[in-house]
Structure 1
Amino acid sequence: MDSDKTHGKPVTLRYKISEFIIRYSLKIAVLLMVTGIISAYFFLASTAQTLTKQTSQLNAQRYLEALSAFRTLYTEEVVNTAKKQNITISHDYKNIKNAIPLPATLSMALGKEIGKFQSGAKTFLYSPYPFPWRAKENKAIFSQDFSQQAWDSLTDNPKKAFFRFEEVNGQMSIRYAIADVMREGCIDCHNNHAQTPKNDWQLGDVRGVMEVILPINKAQFAAQSSLQATFIVLFTMMGLITIVLFIFFSRIKKDAKKLADSNLEMMDKQQQVNFANEEMSLAIEQLELKAIELVSSNQVKADFMATMSHEIRTPLNGVIGMLSLLKQSEMSHEQNHHTHLATVSASSLLNIINDILDFSKIEADKLFIESVEIHLADLVTNLSSTMAHIAHEKGLELIVDVAQLKHVVARGDPHRIKQILSNLISNAIKFTAKGEVVISTNISVIDDTKLQFSCSVKDTGIGIEQSKLDSMFERFTQEDSSTTRQYGGTGLGLAIVRKLCQLMHGDITVTSQQGRGSTFSFTLLLESCRSVKAELPQLDLSEYRILIVDDNKTNREVLHGQLTLWGACVRQADSAKSALAYLTESLKKAKDKQFDMAILDMHMPEMNGAQLGQQIKANNKLAHLKLIMLTSLARPGDAQYFASLGFDFSLPKPVITADLANAIIQVVNGNEPTKTQPALPVKNDTKKITVKPLPKSTRILLVEDNSINQIVAKSLLTNLGAQVEIASNGKEALSCLENEHFDAVLMDCQMPIMDGYTATKAIRKSHRDYTDIYIIAMTANAMSGDRDKCIAAGMNDYLTKPVDIIALENSLLKALNLPLDQIEAITPQINEPKVTEPKVTEPKVTNNDTEVKPDEPSVSSNAWGKEEFYKRVGQNQQLAERIVTMYCQDMPAEIDKLSQAITAKDDKEIEAIAHKVKGSSANLEATILAQCALEIELAVKENNSDEIELLSIKLKDDFAELIAELEGFLAYNMQ
């Protein structure tokens, strides 16, 4: 009891505190709930109203956008096609046979049909400028204040929609209007229609209003009413909660259930909205199906056109053939004229049919690309030559630049490449009234099997408007509608060109400035062709000064580039007056600084090429000057005419590289160039032109420690046309490669400091720009397995010393990927060095300046192959004397070192010196001594000391005999 009493007071107090908290907390909670519900009511009511308006506005906007998109699609794809097929387009299409409705008529009909599924939506299209058959309807519509306000608003701001909510036929609706602006495809119809109320429409003008009256969904109003009822119930419940907590909880449960039911009802309404959207999507899918049907129809049309083109082409070819036969028969002048007109018309029709046929083949995916060998330079130049007369008849310069075509043979479709080029060139000529058409080509290596052929055709014609550039390669498209009338054509040519480029894995682009000309550039992917290489001439004009006289800058630059590649010193003159000034100035200089040749253009302002040539020939001080004439039109008798004026040669434009080389050689040397005659004889001149297999820009790094071998190798390379840099060992070679660019490396194998094998491996592991450079082993090691050792070290090819000039030439041509003089490159693989028995009778040796005396004593010894040695140094007397002198100075010391090494039994030193003696002697064609040195090398490898002793005695005897002969040779030539 005490305990209960003790704890009674705290329990009572605790209960009262709890009751107080519950009572006031409940009141506060109810107050907060009431406040929250009131706030929520106003917030939700406002949000629901805003959402309703936004949803209605969005639905109306999408409705008109879909209708407008359909109208645009119908105008561009159906109406334009119907116009081409001469199908009637009318608002009264139901009463006209085979007619189709106008875009506006069909759009309103479609809106009416859609409205049946869109809760009674209604669509209107009205304008202050209606056609007569819509005038009454428009007048009634404009009597409404909304229509007039919509027109005023949209006229001021066409991009902003005009709308408002109002009750229509007892139902709340949104009236939504957008501007109906003038489209490109509609301008012609509206301006030129017989009953048009306005004929000065322009693109983007507001021609009317497109309006939709869209009833607001009833479900949205029902949701708002349900929300209001819910809040009323909640307020009632809050009043009852203040009386009895039990009633509050029971009521809250019931109201929660009602709220859930209301949400379910709202979800049902939302599903109805989704169903309506799905119906809209279904309608869009049906439109897409119609579009697919149109595409299929186009394919059927393409197949039909291909068949019809074939059928038409056959009798048309017969017509042209018969006209050709008719022209060969006897006819009157009038009959000849009529036949000519008929032939021109038939040819034009044939070209149109061919374009349609090709395009139809492409559309039907029935055009196939061939793969045959093509001489690209010949293809471009020959095609240009056939079209040159068209350009020249218009007074245009046709310039062809194929100087960059290094790989001039590839595999592709020559017919289609010609088709692309002829289309672009003929277009350039057609749309150019004065100036020039320049054809520039290039080719680049993609990989071992692919080449990319690039070509651009640039003109100085009428140009193309920038807004039209993107559509130039679409079918039936030209710069404007007057182009076809003025210049002719189907509008299919460029579309076919793009398709052909794409079929050959390339593309075409165009840049243009209106009034200044256009440039069409295309690329094609071709296959590499290694079986046959076409040969481009490589002249050595390093001793020549040439003057180019042409008023056309591009023509001068093309000629300048080609002549510079051949090493000539070139100067340009843009007029006859400037040319005469340059020539007068040159006469004041030394003879070797004067011009040797002038290339003149025939057609120049003020004074033409023929008149300039006559003035030059009239000056006795310029009698030495060789003259070449460039003519736009090659006519019968031109050669004789220009020869009578004093010209040495005449060439037609465009100038082909091979023809230019042939002309220069004939003018200076008087002979045709041949492969077996690199140095042509001189005719009435102290200079000569040589045809060399390597471009003058070829740079070779020669890595060789032996000074005699350096001189011989450098002489051989220089005679082939290359520039040579020398490194004495592998370390120096790496330094040279770091600092300079080279096209190939000739690498000796045995060298001090760093040998050729080590240097090659270092190059391959360097990961620098030169890591893949072509390396040719040039070694006196000719034993079995030496070639494999060089290849294993990373070298690309292998030559033995003494180096054969043909083998060296072929190896370098392979390194540079240039045309081979011989299909099979010579790659010597021998077990013993070459030993040639010298002939007893000594040949007569000549060079440019000296000649060996005819009474020189004959050779009585076979120690030195003098005849073969002279062949090796290119019959150069001074070089021969220099090499023999160096050999006589350096080799006695090497023989002494060899004797000392043999006495000391230093096998490594013996082998190194014997190798050096072998290489130097072989290059001198001292084959007996070289053979003995080789045998010493082999004896060292076999560790045969007795054989080394015997061979060293023989080596001294052979060397003494050789030195005696060489010193006699030098003594005789010093006389």
Structure 2
Amino acid sequence: MLRIPVIFSQHKSIWKTFINCLGITIVALGYYGLAEICRHLASTPQDVTPVWFPDGFASAAILLFGDRLLLGVLIGSFLANIWAFLKTDTTFHLLQSIAQVTMIAIGTTTGIGLGSYLLRRAIGRESPLRNFRNVSQFFWLTGLMGTMVNATAGVTALCLGGTIAWSVYPSVWLTWWVSNVTGIFVLTPTLLSWSEITSYKLIYFYRKTKLLHFLEALVMLVIVLTISQTAFVGIYPIEYLIIPCLVWVTFRFGHFAATNLILLIAIIAIVGTLNGSGSFARVNINESLLLLQSFIVATVSFTLILSGTINEQRRNSNHLKKSQIELLQKSQLLTKSNQELTQAKQLAEAANRSKSYFLTNMSHELRTPLNAIIGVTQLLQDDESASPQQKEDLQIICNAGFHLLSLIEDILDISKIEAGKMEIQPLDCQFLQLLHGVSESFRVSAQKKGIDLVCEFTPDLPQIIHTDAKRLRQILFNLLGNALKFTDKGTVTFAVSKMTNQELISDLESSDHINVITCSSHSISPTPEVVYVLFAIADTAVGIDSEKLNKIFLPFEQAGENKFKSQGTGLGLAISQKIAKFLGGEISVTSELGLGSCFNLRLPFEVVDPIDYGEIDHDTHQYLLSKNSAQVLNSQHGFDSKLAQQYPLQILLAEDNLVNQKVASRLFQRLGYIVDIANNGLEVIEMLRSRTYDLVFMDIQMPVMDGLEATAKILEEWDFAMRPRIIAMTANAMPSDREHCLAAGMDDFLSKPIKIETLIAAIKRSQVRLLS
């Protein structure tokens, strides 16, 4: 098995050697044959050949097949010159002539090899006729520089052998060199153009070329031959009329036709001039040859440069067309891709709308039973006949209901954040009252767990700030709730302080907080005073592993102990961080296992009513906070059975759900009101026509006529002074729902489940508007 590759390799090597030997033989015989033809057909009585075609043949062979054929050039040159310079009268003269011819052959081979080598180094494997640059490189390197070596070696050999005198060295060198240059300029391009013709191109040319094209080529050939015959054999000097014809042929038929036509013209010109006829015939043969060679070189140079330029322009034009086609195809693909992206975007938007619709609908459906649960629980808690154990159980039910409500809010919030629909609604708010309201909300939970809840509010905090109080309260509730949930013993500290400039600079340098502030959607006017406040919530819980710290702000991530992971969705911190960034700040955390964690919330606030902090005493500030928080708590808890006496109102309730009707009626009864009930919007209109009402609590989703349609009808039928105040009371709790209700003309908005505190507040706001 191993012998087969070896035998195959040997056969391949033998075949390659045979091909090389065959090529060398062909080049040697071709060189020698062309030399004999030039001597017999195109030679002067002084044995001067005006065009040395053998060098043109050799240059073409080396450019096409490589340096391995240079041995053929050496042999061919030796054979071409041995018979011209061989002297056999004495042995010395024989050896001298052989050495002389050998030197000429070596010079010829070196010149042709050098010219081909320099050209390939300059243009690579490209065709010398491909473009203007390649043509010019061919002229300089192969046509001019290589032939200088050939002429120098040949004439030097003749002088050393005594064939010519050293005194005529310049003139003989020039004749030799121009002869070689002319031969390469005329024959090499012709052979190179023939090498580019393949059977495929011939078939393609035959199929695509029309009859008129053939006739045009034939007419041009006849015209050029006629002009050449007249100029070089006749007596009329019209040889330069050939140039426009060559230009036409080059444009119409390319460099293949042009180079072959030049070869025919050169042969006619050489024969005619050597016979003493034509425009270049002079008494002095050297003058005749110089004129003839100059014409041939100029014609060839002009034609080949023009051909190279045309080829380059056509190639660029084809490349441009190809690029335009590719660009068009890519444009079509891009258009198709854009269409697909548009369709995908539409599908994504449709899916997002479906998700939003689903979440909104689910929120509505979940809030409806929650409204009954929480409402009845509030009623039972206010029942004086209930035992302490029953009230405790009712509190558990109420807490579970509000916990479920918070989970619904979290899911809606994260959905809005992902959809980019989170909205910040900054308003003026009492900052200290907000802080104490938040802290007091957790004191009962802290007492039940036996944990100290320490609140530290510095005296330099602003009194009134411009921010979204609802969202700020949501963040603080989440951070404090987590701290209390994960702390079994010890202390939870809620510290709020105004950041100094040094602290702010240090904080901005150590984090990307500065980018968050400057890029926030919550724009802060440069005119009012802006303060940066640090909220620090520290606990003595188990702490968080450092590997999990970078994950706690991701949705659905819970880094605490397993026993707490079922007590939430894992959305609280993710939502809080997003809201913090919307407000212009951020949340950071530091934690150590076994010692606890500290969450830092940094926010910028616009101060609405700056005060002189230096005039406030620390103790007085603490006392005022406690007093305010107590007043807030006292006003926010429990039913006020005398509310109807303070705010006497005729109330109509529009609600289609029977359970919600009963719950709402009992809530209003505890406040001292007897309400009428309408099952849909149409009944609302009919009852308003028959009786006067001060307030209408309007549900949105109702049969026959919904709340928005009913509101529009009321605004159309009654003017502002005569119509009742309309308060939306709906399970549609999205911010957009509130906007739609207010935009429809409603005066206020309450979302279910209804808290007794918010209901009382809405009644009071309506009474104020009625009196105004």
TM-score per shorter chain, which class?
0.3 to 0.5
Which is higher, the Rg of structure 1 or of structure 2?
2
TM-score, with length taken from structure 1: 0.29
Q: Which has the higher strand share?
A: 1
TM-score (structure 2 length as normaliser)? 0.36
